[in-house]
Copies of this chain bind each other. A is one copy, B any other.
C-alpha cells in the first residue's frame, strides 16, 4: 500500500501519539501558565554511583573547556547524562563557566567547590553533610591528591586553609614560587578540580550506600563558632570557613591563634 486514507480525527490522533511518545505533549503542557513543574523542575535527580578516578579524568579535561566550576559539575552530571540521557543531557552545563577563578576572577568560593555543591544539591536529598565534608577536606588536606594522566607539571601540594579561591591560589603561588597567570598555576587548578570532583563522587557514593558522612571542623574554627555562630553568646556572624585564613590577628580581645 503506497497511499493512506485517513479521517481528520485519525490523522490528529496519529500525530498526537507520535508526539506524546517522545514527550512532546508533556512539554507542551508544561508551557501552559498554570502547569506543574516539568521533569527537570524537581530535585534531587536520581544519582547512580560513579567511578571516582574516571570522573577525575573527565574533570581535568572539562576544566580545559570551561574552567573549574564547569569542570567539576560537568564531570559528575555529564557522566550521568551519558549514562541516563534526559533530563541530565539538556542541562545547560555551559552556565557553570561563571564560577571560574572564584566567580569571574573575583577570588570568592573556589569554583570546583561551587560546582560540587551545585551537583550535591541536584543529586542528593541531604546535601549539607556532603558540603561540610568536602569543604573541610579541601581546607585541611594537602591537595592535589589525584594526578590526571594528562598533567605535565610536578604537583605542589598545599592545604588551602580556606574554601576561597583567593586563599587557595595565594598559598599555592607562595609554595610553588610561581606567578598567578603561569601555565603551571592554570594546570594546578585543573588538577585540583580533578581532585575535588573525585572526592565529591567518593562522598556521593558513600551517601548512596547509606554511610554517614562525617565533617571535622578545624579546632580553632569550632572554638570561634561556639561563641559567634548559632546559639553562641555573641551569635553575631555566619560561617564555617577556617577563621584564621582571614583573621590573621585577633587583637587584644582574644588569645593569639
A237 touches which of B45, B97, B180 (Cβ 8 Å): B180
A190 at the interface (CB under 8 A from B): no
This chain's copy number in the assembly: 2
Report if A5 contacts B (CB, 8 A): yes
Taking a contact as CB atoms closer than 8 A, the residue among B6, B45, B169, B179 that contacts A6 in the complex is: B6
**Stretch of A11-19, A54-62, A142-150 lying at the B interface:** A11-19
Do residues A91 and B41 form an inter-chain contact, with CB atoms below 8 A? yes
Known contacts: A90-B39, A170-B236. The answer to whether A131 contacts B117 by CB under 8 A is no
Q: Which residues of B contact A91 (CB under 8 A)?
A: 40-41, 92
Residues in B neighbouring A43, C-beta threshold 8 A: 92, 94-95
Please give 4 more A-B residue pairs, beta carbons under 8 A apart, in addition to A18-B19, A33-B82.
A98-B118, A103-B114, A170-B238, A180-B229
**19 CB < 8 A contacts A-B:** A2-B7, A4-B6, A4-B7, A40-B90, A41-B92, A41-B94, A43-B92, A87-B92, A94-B121, A99-B117, A101-B238, A104-B128, A107-B237, A166-B238, A166-B241, A174-B236, A180-B230, A246-B246, A248-B249
